A and B are shown apart, each in its own frame.
Chain A
């Protein structure tokens, strides 16, 4: 009788275990195809663009060019609306659109940062190196279409200067030089492409005056990145260009601009097939993980980037600190630079003290897609660290999610009387880089902005936040649950006001609980001892 019973129990247990193993195996098979991944792959199946035009065969581009303006004229002779469209975009105007226009947000406006601080109404000419006009002429000049659309980048200013210097010469050698330069120019003009990573990167990788200075998730390592650095742009993977996600309408490139979020709604291609593909959800949906995965339950309050970008600046270092107050020190009466651990400047006479970091863990904040950035007109409290740019959002904000950021700290000048940040002129003959005279540089810089200056300045510590959204890691390297769900130094340790399992606990219930458990243990131990001794003494067993 007994063996049969045990046999039955064994059979039941066996069936249960076998069932569990099969379910697990099925689970793992399904893991191969998380729905959000499948969906995104379908949406991007054909990344090879096609065109009906070969620009090298167009007569308009075969003629000799003597200036950038002539190149632009050749472009708009076919693309008649291109320049006027582009003139309306922030890439050209360097001015924010509604609702930022009121505050004159933008590099050409009153915006500030804690890198080179201000473009001084576009009068700090060194900033114009990134303006997509010919010879850094700014909005006065003509659009240089080839900054974004040229496969071959040449030094246009130098090429046209040399060309014009030697043209008309009778010297056959110089004529040959002219012919060579003209050939280079024509080749560059004819190699027209949709913007590639290198095109966007020629400015965006070098923001703040050098490689990886500003963003932390955008630097020259993204030009030809391995998949391990960015799953989307990896040349051994999908090899996405920037515009794959930064989709463009009438030359307006999708993306966040100051307080205006990159996307107004969280919509996927399923909901709106013409939506900008700027968000992760555009292609991956709001529940991209396999059904039943706890990760899907997180997407309402935790941005994809928080888990999928464990570290930024994974290949090249990024600048994390810039203290202008230390600038101006001379060595042997001369300006000097000092390089640190990554071969990057840690001190420059003209710029001050800097810190660089690699493999940086982001800081996390509630973020509704909007950034609050100060202008020269915003009052500050110099007693505190001033957030020159900070994410907007809170837990109570239904549109806000926890998002990773690079925080760039530093010290920059402010007006001790008017309590506003100051915008010194840096380049040029009156600029600080030349004169090392703060008072004069500030006066010149504020004049350029038509802003008043009391004449008294000091330095205040500031921070500038950058959303981290590139350098998405392969799925094996995502942030693990316990990196946030832990009581000891978790990634979300600074985010308060809500209860997070594994991180938070109610102290008194734990104390009370353990007291009760210990009490029970002590009680039964005493009771047991009592039994043992009383039986030994009293009875025979």
Chain B
């Protein structure tokens, strides 16, 4: 099927930057967070806390730019969930992929995410990550709770929410990294997220979507 492949410019520079930047921050936050939780000793509690706080606040600020980007560019449409072909995608990953079948929903410029991805990324970007950021921010602001009128909050419950979020993100990370290997080659999706150019099967691509100089990549 390799002969049918063509390249489209799927991920803009900001998108790619945001993806990797956020990935790096999440990895650092997971490592330092689990150290603060007492799982292992790497940076030392003191430094782990400071790095965790710094990166956490940086993430919060950077996320605001992402939200701005998502709405001003109309990219938010990519996250609108749909049930169309949902079953087909689930069936593909559960069965078809082992049979060498084609992906039922190939990537397109205006539909980067398949129905399953839409659902997962929507939950991630609109629920899990904000919950994690909010709980983290509150955790960070523990000393100001009384001033903020939040004296009723329980650190134990907040820590529980933050830990549940951390585990959820780690589960996502494991699955997400694995899923990147399900392209037509192991690193096809990873490469696309680095260069912006995704190789997809020909057919539904419009002429204007084609790269002007497809040679620049390889």
A residues near B (Cβ < 8 Å) are: 1-2, 5, 294, 297, 300, 480-482, 485-487, 498-499, 501-506, 509-510, 512-514, 516-517, 519-521, 523-524, 527-528, 530-531, 534-535, 538-539
Q: Given A2-B216, A513-B167, does the pair A499, B36 have CB atoms closer than 8 Å? A: no
A509 close to B160 (CB less than 8 A): yes
Q: State the interface size on chain B (CB cutoff 8 A).
A: 35
A505 close to B216 (CB less than 8 A): no
Residues 177-197 of chain B, each 1 if its beta carbon lies under 8 Å from chain A, else 0: 010011000000000000000
B160 contacts across to A, CB distance below 8 A: 506, 509
Is B170 part of the binding interface, using a Cβ–Cβ cutoff of 8 Å?
A: yes
Stretch in B43-51, B112-120, B202-210 with 4+ CB within 8 Å of A:
B43-51
Q: Which 6 A-B pairs have the closest CB atoms?
A: A513-B167, A524-B178, A534-B98, A499-B156, A482-B45, A520-B174
Is B64 part of the binding interface, using a Cβ–Cβ cutoff of 8 Å?
A: no
- Give the distance in Å from the alpha carbon of A504 to the alpha carbon of B41 in the complex: 16
- Give the distance in Å from the alpha carbon of A498 to the alpha carbon of B142 in the complex: 13
A509 CB contact (under 8 Å) in B41, B163, B175, B182: B163
In the complex, 29 of the A-B residue pairs with CB atoms within 8 angstroms, ordered by the A residue number, are: A1-B216, A2-B216, A5-B13, A300-B143, A481-B45, A481-B49, A482-B41, A482-B45, A482-B46, A499-B154, A499-B159, A503-B38, A504-B159, A506-B160, A509-B164, A509-B167, A510-B163, A512-B167, A513-B163, A513-B164, A513-B167, A517-B167, A517-B171, A520-B171, A520-B175, A531-B98, A531-B182, A535-B98, A538-B100
B167 contacts across to A, CB distance below 8 A: 509, 512-514, 516-517
Closest to B168 in A: A516
A504 close to B156 (CB less than 8 A): yes
Is B37 part of the binding interface, using a Cβ–Cβ cutoff of 8 Å?
A: yes
**Given contacts A506-B156, A521-B174, could you give 13 more A-B pairs where the C-beta distance is less than 8 Å?**
A297-B143, A480-B45, A480-B46, A499-B154, A499-B159, A504-B159, A505-B37, A505-B163, A506-B159, A506-B163, A514-B167, A516-B167, A520-B175
- Within the complex, the shortest CB–CB distance from B171 to chain A, in Å, comes to 5
B171 CB contact (under 8 Å) in A300, A502, A509, A516: A516
- Within the complex, the shortest CB–CB distance from A472 to chain B, in Å, comes to 20
- Within the complex, the shortest CB–CB distance from B150 to chain A, in Å, comes to 15
- Give the distance in Å from the alpha carbon of A499 to the alpha carbon of B160 in the complex: 10
Q: Given A513-B166, A530-B98, A535-B100, does the pair A502, B36 have CB atoms closer than 8 Å? A: yes
B41 contacts across to A, CB distance below 8 A: 482
A534 close to B174 (CB less than 8 A): no
Chain A facing B: main interface SS: helix
B46 contacts across to A, CB distance below 8 A: 480-482
Residues 51-67 of chain B, each 1 if its beta carbon lies under 8 Å from chain A, else 0: 00000000000000000
Closest to B164 in A: A509
- Within the complex, the shortest CB–CB distance from A527 to chain B, in Å, comes to 7
B80 contacts across to A, CB distance below 8 A: none
A503 contacts across to B, CB distance below 8 A: 38
Q: Given A294-B49, A498-B155, does the pair A505, B100 have CB atoms closer than 8 Å? A: no
A1 contacts across to B, CB distance below 8 A: 216
Instruction: Give B96-135 interface residues, CB cut-off 8 Å to A.
Output: 97-100
Closest to A2 in B: B216
Closest to B159 in A: A499
B163 close to A517 (CB less than 8 A): no
A510 contacts across to B, CB distance below 8 A: 163
- Within the complex, the shortest CB–CB distance from A484 to chain B, in Å, comes to 9
A524 close to B174 (CB less than 8 A): yes
- Give the distance in Å from the alpha carbon of A538 to the alpha carbon of B98 in the complex: 9
- Give the distance in Å from the alpha carbon of A487 to the alpha carbon of B41 in the complex: 12
- Give the distance in Å from the alpha carbon of A512 to the alpha carbon of B98 in the complex: 30
A520 contacts across to B, CB distance below 8 A: 171, 174-175
B38 close to A505 (CB less than 8 A): yes
- Within the complex, the shortest CB–CB distance from B182 to chain A, in Å, comes to 8
- Give the distance in Å from the alpha carbon of A300 to the alpha carbon of B175 in the complex: 43
A485 close to B37 (CB less than 8 A): no
- Within the complex, the shortest CB–CB distance from B90 to chain A, in Å, comes to 13
- Give the distance in Å from the alpha carbon of A33 to the alpha carbon of B159 in the complex: 34
- Give the distance in Å from the alpha carbon of A502 to the alpha carbon of B171 in the complex: 22
A485 contacts across to B, CB distance below 8 A: 36, 38, 45
Closest to A298 in B: B143
A528 contacts across to B, CB distance below 8 A: 178, 181
- Within the complex, the shortest CB–CB distance from A57 to chain B, in Å, comes to 58
- Within the complex, the shortest CB–CB distance from A503 to chain B, in Å, comes to 7
B93 contacts across to A, CB distance below 8 A: 527
Q: Given A300-B143, A520-B175, does the pair A502, B181 have CB atoms closer than 8 Å? A: no
A519 contacts across to B, CB distance below 8 A: 171
Q: Given A297-B142, A524-B174, A530-B98, does the pair A487, B181 have CB atoms closer than 8 Å? A: no
- Within the complex, the shortest CB–CB distance from A294 to chain B, in Å, comes to 7
Closest to A12 in B: B17
- Give the distance in Å from the alpha carbon of A534 to the alpha carbon of B94 in the complex: 13
- Give the distance in Å from the alpha carbon of A503 to the alpha carbon of B36 in the complex: 9
Closest to A539 in B: B100
